[in-house]
Amino acid sequence: MFGRRIITLIMAMALFLALSGPAVAGGGEVTSGSFITLTGGTDLGYDIDGRAVMVRRPAGDGSTFIAVHIRGLAPGLTYPTHVHNAPCSASPSGGSHYQHDVGGPADMVNEIWPTIRTNAAGNGTGSATHGNWARADAMSIVVHYPADTSIRLACADLN
């Protein structure tokens, strides 16, 4: 129960920052977007919606925070979710995984993975803190199908 309250508080703070405009105190930047169901999700019977927020924080450590809330997934699963380097309209949707060190390791240190875990109703949240300022090519968030991560279920452009 306590963990849900923390996630709810984080989502509320991130959404507040997103709604307050593109810049935050200290020269930070907030981008956000709504999830759309991709062909891979539609083919599997999903009808997904939700919201994602990215907060780039220059003060102190220059880190990046991502929060996502999504509905319409299967209950009780963990969905691989990654920030990608192209918009949802690209082919494939979202392009490739965003990497701080391009060509470096595909891990949660070099990439941004706000993995989503769903509840009994199929609603899920996820968040991640990346130790670096995400560049402008951190453009979207893609939710992958747990049984086959090559299938992209949903995407949100970060504008």
CATH number at residue 46: 2.60.40.200
Residue 20: the pLDDT is 42
Residue 24 falls inside a structural domain: no
Residue 73: the pLDDT is 98
Residue 22 falls inside a structural domain: no
pTM of the model: 0.85
Residue 28: the pLDDT is 84
Give the domain extent around 95: 2-17+29-157
Contacts with 95 (C-beta within 8 Å, 6 or more apart), sequence order: 84, 85, 86, 87, 139, 140
Residue 62: the pLDDT is 87
Residue 26: the pLDDT is 58
Residue 23 falls inside a structural domain: no
Residue 86 falls inside a structural domain: yes
Residue 46 falls inside a structural domain: yes
Residue 77 falls inside a structural domain: yes
Total domains in the fold of the chain:
1
Q: Which residues of the chain have pLDDT under 70?
A: 1-27, 60
